[in-house]
Structure 1
Amino acid sequence: MPKWSKEVLIGFVPVLLIFLAFLGINIVPIIVAAAMVGALLVITHMRGGIAVNAGAEKKRKKNGPAKLTFEEIGGQDNAKQELREALDFLIRHEEISKFGIRPLKGILLTGPPGTGKTLMAKAAAHYTNSVFVAASGSEFVEMYVGVGAGRIRDLFKDARTRAVKENRESAIIFIDEIDVIGGKREGGQQREYDQTLNQLLTEMDGIYNSETPRILLIAATNRKEMLDPALLRPGRFDRHIQVDMPDKKGRKSILELHAKNKPLHPDINLEKVAEEAYGFSGAQLESVMNEAAIYMMRDNLTQVEDRHLAMAIDKVMMGEKTDRETNHEEKKRVAIHELGHAIMAELLRPGSVSQVTLTPRGQALGYVRHNPQQEQYLYTKDYLEEQIMIALGGAAG
């Protein structure tokens, strides 16, 4: 059916009704019948859409996630330890009840994208031998009032039903990107996802009882400041665990995990690669190893070499090489500019320049990749002044 047929139909029907009324024909029964047919079509469409979503969701939940342990997650040692301690409340519930300790209702994982928040939730389900039910915040946002709140109820009901069916004592519900439905509520008009948030708060208030199965809610977000205070208070999300970017030791651990199934050359030093990948998240490090294997395959080799890893780091950091063709004058200007950065960096911090290239990547016509000498989280005035001088070195050249 052509895309414009709907617009033509909308324009034709009113004209037809006016023409029939002009002829003296009673159009009231026609309007009533048309309204009933339209309402029936809308209801059918809504039920069909909900049925399709429910079928896909049931299929996804039936298949379930692959089993994952904390040992298979590189880095994040402190976050994993804190999460294990929180999960022990779910495992040792009888012991902690003797001391009058209230069980935890929710755990909030916060941190930048790609740091492993979803992986840690899956590992938590394996650690506690719990049923794992996952959903994304966007799944609860609908234009129809009450649909999101109903899906929240169905999510908790499904977790309890599956735990009973699989003879498990506990279930873990994971909601990714919870800021979509858990944003701060503002005065004024009622929004549909306000009702969804209210339903989530209600479920969390009654999430724990003395009977099995016990339910633990784990949520993840990289925008904690956007969440409603009612979610963050004790008694709902009792533990807030920060999942930060990995340090050098963590990056090396992540690289070693993703290198297990890849043929690396014996001369490759992953500690050096971890140093060059300063500021990379776990997802970016996985991409580095994957892209290095792709470069190896392009060269028809059987082992990943250092140059493949160097190119992979450049690609993840700057983007793929572009086909921009620059003339001699532009290349000369770019070379002088980049050399200005490199010379100034070497004068201030000898040995800090890792690579200088004129190959266009992403939005850059050339770039200098600096090799940080050590992990640094506090910056002195002298350090910042050196950074300014290195940045202005290109303009001075």
Structure 2
Amino acid sequence: MRNYAKEMAIGFIPVLILFLQIFVGINMIPVLLFAGLIGGALYLVRSRGNLAAVGGERKGKPRPPAPLSFDEIGGQERAKQELIEALDFLVHEERITKFGIRPLKGILLAGPPGTGKTLLAKAAAHYTDSVYVAASGSEFVEMYVGVGASRIRDLFREARQKAAKADKKSAVVFIDEIDVIGGKRDGGQHKEYDQTLNQLLTEMDGIHTSEKPRILLIGATNRKEILDSALLRPGRFDRHITVDLPDKKGRDHILRIHARNKPLQEEVNLEKIAEESFGFSGAQLESVMNESAIYAMREESESISQRHLSMAIDKVMMGERTDREATKEERERVALHELGHAIMAELVRPGSVSQVALLPRGQALGYVRHNPQQDRYLYTRRFLEEQIMVALGGAAAEELFYGDRSTGSRGDFDQAMSIVRSMVESGLTELGITDSSMMTPDKWAIVNSSILDELMSRVKVMLSEQKEVFLRSLEVLKTEETLSGDRFRSLLGIDVTAGDPDGESKPA
């Protein structure tokens, strides 16, 4: 019945308009325009109401983020212990009252990118049963003076309101990349930065111990040295916790955490992957597990194998395999270059080579992946000289077979000169203990030349005795493109029963 009446109205209205316009003489154009405007306005209002209703269904009850505990964060045992000890001041109020302890106002997490600083902040909020409010330092930087300071005030106000609404006793405010707004003030014209930092300092001073809900500020940075001293003093950031790259045990823990939801073959050895990923951050290790799953899916495999994990390490370290087509001469030169690195590595540190590959990855046309057995944090002069010799092995091999070098040695020379700089700054050269700022460019050139020329001469002598190994390995590498460490050592004739391997994959 309603549809019938609607159809009757639709048919009657045009007839009525024509009748009034033609027979009665009423000008209906203004009426039609006015009716059109009213109808359009009603349509827009109705459309927005429907969108708001749909948005309300989606946003009205946002799903709270899954709580993250400290047990789910691997590789940072010392940092977690320090952070938990600091957070206990918020959890056990009766104890701090008994001993007259002032609750901490701020905790600074400092360390390289990808080591888990944000995860630690989230776990801190869960551990203390606090509201978690996060922001990035770049969100407070604007070209208009005063906007950053206003956003700082809004951030702390939001934390207090959310804590009160959720009936929580405390709130954790996390500011990532805090060095953007907390850098040293130099008295220049950066008024916006100064006002933002001043407002942050004021808010931290205003975090009184008797205030409810209590606010704990956690800042994260990978450039602690540039932060303003007023921000680092006790009473603001009371604890400075270093979140460093994980060691072998930590890497193994992180890999196992990210392997929980992935189908691994029974023979997969994650401890070996932890050994091969020396210097990787937690984010890189997560990427290794993710890329290995992608490789397995790409091959339509039912599970992830050890080979997939090794390929993932290469990809994370040096990039995806490229489709560059090198000439026959270039491939042979690259193969000899990489064999020079590999032979020198085995001569100075037997058992260290994991794979020699004639495969283009990233910017490298070939690479040698080393297999460190243990993490090393202190280096002797002998060890650093051996590292330089391994780096120079590629250029020495090219000179040995071609009589000249190529541009492929540029990265190796940069690495070698960086090691020389470390030796000078550590007092491991004939210069003795010296201040690097007193070294002129000419003096640096003399030191580099004396050390590198001597080591290059030693490398050439050692490699010249291995020409047969070069030729045998070259044929295998040109045919199969990869040479495993064990097979390479059999060609080299080295019995690896003991050694001190260490290092990491370095592209040519």
TM-score (norm 2): 0.66
**Pairwise CA distance, 1:245:** 0.2
Evaluate the alpha carbon distance shift between residue 176 and residue 63 of structure 1 in structure 2; reply closer, same or farther with a 3 A threshold. Answer: farther
Tell me which residue corresponds to 1:292. Answer: 292
Q: What is the match of residue 173 of structure 2?
A: 173
Q: CA deviation at 1:164?
A: 0.7
Contact 2:289 2:312 in 1 (8 A): yes
Alignment of 1:53-92 (within 5 A): 64-92=64-92
| 2:143 counterpart of 1:156 | no
Amino acid at match of 1:235: G
Report the residue type matching 2:293 in the other structure. Answer: A
Q: Look up the match of 1:26.
A: none
In structure 2, the residue matched to 1:44 is none
Q: Residue 203 of structure 2 aligns with which residue?
A: 203
Give the direction of change, closer, same or farther, for the CA distance of 1:62–1:107 in structure 2 (3 Å limit).
Answer: farther
Structure of greater Rg: 2
Q: CA deviation at 1:190?
A: 4.5
The reply on whether 1:231 has 2:231 as its aligned counterpart is yes
Distance, in Å, in 2 between the alignment partners of 1:153 and 1:163 is 16
Q: How far does the alpha carbon of each residue in 1:337-396 deviate from its partner, in whole angstroms, 9 at most, with x for none?
A: 000000111111111001110101011111111111311100011101111111111111
User: Partners in 1 of 2:112 and 2:297 — Cα distance?
Assistant: 32
Find runs of 4+ consecutive structure 1 residues off by over 4 angstroms: 59-64
* Residue of structure 1 equivalent to 2:257: 257
Instruction: Give the superposition deviation at 1:232.
Output: 0.3
Correspondence for 1:307: 307
Aligned-residue CA RMSD (Å): 1.5
Measured after TM superposition, the shift of residue 199 of structure 1 is 0.2
The aligned counterpart of 2:354 is 354
Q: By how many angstroms is 1:283 displaced?
A: 0.2
Residue identity in the other structure for 2:130:
S
Q: Corresponding residue for 1:22?
A: none
Equivalent residues in 2 for 1:73-222 (5 A)? 73-222=73-222
SS of 1:171's equivalent in the other structure is: strand
| Partner secondary structure for residue 241 of structure 2 | strand
Structure 1 residues 241-256: aligned runs within 5 Å: 241-256=241-256
Q: What letter matches 1:321 in structure 2? A: R
**Identical amino acids, percent of aligned pairs:** 76
1:96 counterpart letter in structure 2? I
SS at match of 2:273: helix
Question: Is contact 2:102–2:209 with CA below 8 Å preserved after alignment?
Answer: no
1:336, 1:207 → 2: CA distance?
64
Q: Specify the SS of the correspondent of 1:87.
A: helix
Report the counterpart of residue 35 of structure 1 in structure 2. none
Q: Distance in 1 between matches of 2:98 and 2:294?
A: 56
Equivalenced residues, count? 340
Give the 3-state SS of the residue equivalent to 1:323 in structure 2.
coil
Structure 2 CA distance for aligned equivalents of residues 209 and 248 of structure 1: 41
Gaps of 5+ in 2: 1-54, 398-508
- 8 Å Cα contact 2:149/2:200 also seen in 1: yes
1:155 and 1:360 mapped to 2: Cα distance? 48
Deviations 1:99-155 (A, max 9, x none): 111110000000000000000000000000000000000110011111110110011
In structure 2, C-alpha distance between the alignment counterparts of 1:189 and 1:211, rounded to whole Å: 36
In structure 2, C-alpha distance between the alignment counterparts of 1:288 and 1:175, rounded to whole Å = 28
User: What's the secondary structure of 2:182's corresponding residue?
Assistant: coil
User: C-alpha displacement at 1:160, in angstroms?
Assistant: 0.6
Equivalent position SS for 2:132? strand
User: TM-score under structure 1 normalisation?
Assistant: 0.84
Aligned-partner SS, 2:158: helix
The answer to whether the Cα contact below 8 Å between 2:125 and 2:172 also exists between their aligned partners in 1 is: yes
Alignment match, 1:3? none
Aligned partners of 2:137 and 2:177 also within 8 Å? yes
1:65/1:122 contact within 8 Å kept: no
Compared CA separation, residues 61 and 343, structure 1 to 2 (3 A): farther
For 1:181, what is the secondary structure of its paired residue? helix
Q: Which residue of 2 aligns with 1:345?
A: 345
Structure 1 325/336 Cα, relative in aligned 2: closer, same or farther at 3 Å?
A: same
Task: For 1:289, give the aligned amino acid.
Answer: M
- Residue number in structure 2 paired with 1:4: none
d(CA) in 1 for partners of 2:363, 2:189: 43
